[in-house]
Amino acid sequence: MNNSKEKELVKRIAKLAKQNQELEELLKKLQRKNEKLIQENERVKEIFEKVSPDKLGKQLSTEEKPRSLKFEMATVLFADIHGFSKISEKVDSETLMDELDEIIFTFNSFVKKYNIEKIKTIGDTYMCAGGIPVKNITNPIDVVMAALEMQSFVKSFGENGKKSGKFWEMKLGIHTGPVTAQSGGKRKVTYDIKGDTVNTASRIESVVEIGEIIISVMTYELVKEFFVCEYYGKLPVKYKGDLEMYVVKGILPELSVDGKGLLPNNTFNIRFGLIQFTDIQEIILDKLENELPEYLYYHNVKHTVDVVTEVELIGWGEGITDEEILLMKTAGLFHDVGHVVQYNDHEYHGTLIAREMLPKYNYTQEQIDRICDIIMATKMPPKPTDTLQSIICDADLDYLGRSDFIPVSNTLYKELKEQNMIGTLNDWNKIQVKFITGHQYFTGTARNLREVNKQKQIERISSLIED
């Protein structure tokens, strides 16, 4: 390995170490959330014990109030649709309203496509927000993509034989920050949002030139790796100084189809997927934290976090592509989630959960099939048939060559013991020595990282065996 590759690998290992620390912090956060949920559940039980069902139902019906929710990161879009002042008097008002309705209807389809929440329309002003009611890390990118589609549609609207001609124009303002959302509605839940973020997005839209998409510096920092953005100017904000703004010109050429900046290509989708993975990861780790049986001392959240970290580390060492890194991390995340269903054949049940969930995050059928094949490769004894399967098998048994092998191994013994699947600890140590002696890592990266330590583990366990 030459010096440049060694330096690159060192950088990636340092990055992964930092990510592993962040995952550990996320695990602690999930544990705190679980404790809070337990406390809330106990509190609800106490309330139900004190209040009869009839009385409680009557009280809820008379005192029902809208819920107020706080979101730390939402992206708010205001679109001001212009056309009335420039359209010929020969065009009747009914035609204008029909065309405006068509524009709004199409905007609704863009909003739905990018999982954005439509807030409301006031005349010819359209308001929506990403990151509510379901929190996600990709909402700034989602909203800018929707804005580009809105802009393109309005530009071409008059070219499609509309009676009003080419007079419809639009300007858009976008800002990212915390919001407070209040839910309401009986048949369909709707949301209204308030806060400085909403006010700032509205102010940005008010200073925008016709035909432009302007984003705040907060949004810019979160989307600049995907879009061509040019500095636009500053907006004075009361009590906060000047707010820098940028105009969005389109998708980066290298991330767009034919370099035209209009449609995202596969490279865009992979880069987006690697960011979106954080949202999927939080959902699955939360599921494991809340639904795994208590006797899973080894196949727990920490093990899944370890495997996700290791598949990326080994993957970079083996020189796989960014798309393959995404597939590996996803497979690592889902490889043990089937334990929430049953212990045996958990790999298969993990693939079922993946097949149900991943289409909602725009994974292709081909990607999902490959992820499921990788998951099934972790079934013991491991028999990988390609590089990606070899990587996850090595990541899954990474602990064999780690310094904490014995304490980790003891958690697996405890897990099997509580299910009456193993005998004494001495029996377990004999099985471990036999297994490790016959085991060999499949990838060169894993062998370089763990093989030496693995041989030391054999000696350590052998010394514990009683004849």
Q: E strands within 185-264?
A: 190-194, 213-216, 227-237, 241-251
In a domain, 425, yes or no: no
The CA distance from 291 to 285, in Å, is 10
Q: Which residues pair with 192 in a beta bridge?
A: 182
Are 319 and 363 members of one domain?
A: yes
pLDDT classification of 6: cutoffs 50, 70, 90: low
Do β-strands 125-130 and 68-82 pair in parallel, antiparallel, or remain unpaired? antiparallel
Are 98 and 202 members of one domain?
A: yes
Q: What is the mean pLDDT of residues 431-447?
A: 92
In a domain, 138, yes or no: yes
In Å, what is the CA distance from 294 to each residue of 339, 411, 414, 415, 419? 11, 12, 12, 9, 11
Identify whether the C-beta of residue 401 lies closer than 8 Å to the C-beta of residue 457.
Answer: yes
Q: pLDDT tens digits, residue range 152-199?
A: 998 887 666 555 555 678 999 999 999 999 887 666 778 899 999 999
pLDDT for the residue 241: 85
Are 133 and 103 members of one domain?
A: yes
Are 114 and 214 members of one domain?
A: yes
In a domain, 26, yes or no: yes
Are 258 and 282 members of one domain?
A: no
The CA distance from 336 to 267, in Å, is 29
Task: Read off the CATH number of the domain in which 75 is found.
Answer: 3.30.70.1230
Are 153 and 205 members of one domain?
A: yes
Q: pLDDT tens digits, residue range 344-358?
A: 999 999 999 999 999
Are 196 and 291 members of one domain?
A: no
Identify whether the C-beta of residue 150 lies closer than 8 Å to the C-beta of residue 113.
Answer: no
In a domain, 389, yes or no: yes
Structural domain containing residue 127: 68-264
In a domain, 388, yes or no: yes
Q: pLDDT tens digits, residue range 108-121?
A: 999 999 999 999 99
Task: Read off the CATH number of the domain in which 291 is found.
Answer: 1.10.3210.10
The CA distance from 340 to 283, in Å, is 14
Q: What is the pTM (predicted TM-score) of this model?
A: 0.81
Are 176 and 30 members of one domain?
A: no
In a domain, 52, yes or no: no
The CA distance from 113 to 110, in Å, is 5
Are 155 and 118 members of one domain?
A: yes
Q: Which tokens hold the place of 458?
A: 């054999």
Are 290 and 254 members of one domain?
A: no
Domain count across the chain? 2
In a domain, 456, yes or no: no
